[in-house]
Structure formats: C-alpha cells, structure tokens
Amino acid sequence: MGELTDKVAIITGGGRGIGRNIALTYAREGATIVVAARTVEPLQETCAEIERRGGRAIYLRTDVAAEADCERMVERAVDAFGRVDILVNNVGIAGPTAKITNITLAEWQESIDINLTGCWLASREALKRMAAQRSGNIVNISSLAGRVGYPLRTPYAASKWAMIGLTQSLALEWGREGIRVNGICPGAVAGDRIEQVIKARATASGMTEEAVEQSIVGRSAIGRMVTEDECARVALFLASDASAGITGQSINVDAGIAMS
C-alpha cells in the first residue's frame, strides 16, 4: 500500500518540472492523478508515463486564471473519480526580469493572475468538495522569492509572498473541517526553468550567465541547487498522513540559500 492509496490528486502545471515530478511521485504512492495546464502535450506525456507505470491519470486543458476553467477542472475530476483529496497549486510563470520602471501593467497583472489568483480560484473550487468530505490537503508551490526580496523580479516575488499569506489564511479557515493547507518554497531548482531565469538575469544585469549561476550556487549551504525530485518528496510528505499535525506552514527546499 502506498502513502496515497485511493486518493485523488489534482496537480496544476503537471506537465513539466516540479509538477510533473509530483504527479509521478503521487502516482507511485497510489494516487489517481489529474494534471491540468494550458499546454496539452506535456500533460499527455505525464499521463502516458503514469499509465506506463501502472497508475491512473487524466489531463485537462486549464487556464487557472480563468474562473470557469477552475470550476470545470474540479467538476471533471469529481465526475471521473468521485472526489478530490489533494490539490497541488504548482502552475506559475516567471514573469519579466527587469526594473519596475521597465515592467508594464500587463506583465504585472499576468504574473498575479496566474501565480496568485489561479491558486486562489483552484483552492476555492477544491475546498467546496473537500469541505463536503471533511478531509483534504492543499499544497501550494511558492518560492524562496516569497521569503526574501528579489530585485528585477517584483511581479513574481509579490505573487509568491502572497501565496504564503494565502496558505496560512486557508489553514486557519479550514483546519476544523479536516483540511490542511501547506506550502513549499523551492530555491534554485536544477532544470530548464532555472536556465531560463539565469539567462534573463544575465541580460538584465549585464553579468555573464556563469557569474549569475555562481551567485546562486555560492550562497547554498550544500554547494548546489536542489532537484525537482527533492521538491516532490516534500510535496508527498505534506499530502500524506506522515504530516498530519502540520498545517499553515511553508517549507523551504532551497539547499540552505535562505540562511546565507
């Protein structure tokens, strides 16, 4: 028996990166998986891999910033599998890398809409089902940028700081209903996403890409970036009974960068 046997988990942004790893990890532990995002092909690949390993999964094309899409996402999950036990709010965008004076209102709004409002909308719809069950888990993927100031990334940082406040507020609001809400704050995560971040910061700051990468890794207590799998294992812990006494927390998975 896996740690999530008979659970149904919705994972937004489940086609790539941390979201994909969480989907595969949850499926390995017995959960039935619903992955949702705007781009279908990566979702199909995640589902195919889960099914190849003997699990069950479906994908839903979803724009989490659209209210109707979030409503439909939860409804289809319930129609397919009868319940929703876990929601992982993972989908997010990096937003612009520039000084605030060079960022447009549209760029700001897009980051807030997807990273924060999408988390709020998906949580609202899932909580309606979880409240009826009197059980459930929400895991919000924030960022180390939600803990410390992040120059040149103000829309991203603001959205991720706000996710931590949302996590704590929902935990207090729904704890007596048997629902726990926690978060994860990844630092620099090895993979395609951080490579894009490094390139954008190098362009905006005039530094070389190597210097930007070293400025990140050099602050790590263990001398490296974290992995997607390391983040996924914390997400498994937070969604499982092993963390039954934990709610309202946002756990850093950052290789010790926050201590520097």
Write down the pLDDT at residue 260.
65
Residue 143 in contact with residue 215, Cβ under 8 Å? no
Give pTM, 2 decimals.
0.95
Residue 163 in contact with residue 147, Cβ under 8 Å? no
- Residue pLDDT tens, the chain, 260 long: 799 999 999 999 999 999 999 999 999 999 999 999 999 999 999 999 999 999 999 999 999 999 999 999 999 999 999 999 999 999 999 999 999 999 999 999 999 999 999 999 999 999 999 999 999 999 999 999 999 999 999 999 999 999 999 999 999 999 999 999 999 999 999 888 888 888 888 898 888 988 888 888 889 999 999 999 999 999 999 999 999 999 999 999 999 998 76
Write down the pLDDT at residue 192.
85
End-to-end CA distance of the chain: 40
Catalytic site residue from 26, 59, 150, 156: 156
Residue 26 is a catalytic residue:
no
**Rounded-to-10 torsion of CA 14, 2, 246, 249:** -20
Write down the pLDDT at residue 209.
86
Residue 155 in contact with residue 102, Cβ under 8 Å? no
Residue matched to tokens 């935990």: 171
**Rounded-to-10 torsion of CA 57, 196, 138, 183:** 150
Looking at domain 8-189+228-259, its CATH superfamily turns out to be: NAD(P)-binding Rossmann-like Domain (3.40.50.720)
Residue 224: other Cβ atoms inside 10 A: 13
Write down the pLDDT at residue 20.
98
Write down the pLDDT at residue 64.
97
Give the separation between CA 177 and CA 167, rounded to whole angstroms: 15
Q: Listing from the earlier edge strand, what are the strands of the sheet with 250-253?
A: 57-61, 32-37, 8-12, 86-89, 136-141, 179-186, 250-253
Token pair listed for 55: 């699990």
Token pair listed for 146: 């939600």
Pairing of strands 32-37, 8-12: parallel
Residue 129 in contact with residue 117, Cβ under 8 Å? no
Token pair listed for 127: 């909580």
Give the separation between CA 202 and CA 94, rounded to whole angstroms: 15
Write the CA distances from 222 to 175, 230, 241, 255, integer angstroms. 35, 14, 29, 6
Write down the pLDDT at residue 49.
98
Residue 188 in contact with residue 226, Cβ under 8 Å? yes
Strand, helix or coil at 57?
strand
Give the separation between CA 146 and CA 185, rounded to whole angstroms: 7
